[in-house]
Amino acid sequence: MEVNVKDAQAILQKTITWIKKFGESRQEWEKACIECGLPPQKLKTPVKTKFASKVIMFEETLEFKQTIITYYERQKTIVL
């Protein structure tokens, strides 16, 4: 499956902003981190003009892949 890097970056930035902005989302994120055995950590929004910043965001995304999946699955059940 091919993924456009700019699209992936935009989606990740929206997710990170959403988690940071709303208290309930932050709590759900922390629960997902703990459930996946990772320390509750804020993902960093990249500085748009810095390539290294984008690389760090993608590296974190890979590290927190299961946590992101768990978080979204919880959000889906909360909405339904």
Residue 79 is predicted with a pLDDT of 53
Helix (H/G/I), strand (E/B), else coil: 26? helix
Q: Is the pLDDT of residue 76 over 60?
A: yes
Q: Is the pLDDT of residue 78 over 70?
A: no
35 vs 39: CA distance, rounded Å? 10
Which conformational region is residue 37 in: left (phi greater than 0), alpha (psi within -120 to 50 degrees), or beta?
A: left
Task: Evaluate whether 67 touches 12 at the Cβ level (below 8 Å).
Answer: no
What residue spans define the domains of the chain?
5-79
Q: Is the pLDDT of residue 1 over 80?
A: no
Residue 65 is predicted with a pLDDT of 84
Residue 9 is predicted with a pLDDT of 78
Tell me the per-residue pLDDT of 4-50, one tens digit each, with 9 for 90 and over.
777 877 878 887 887 777 777 888 888 888 898 888 877 777 666 67
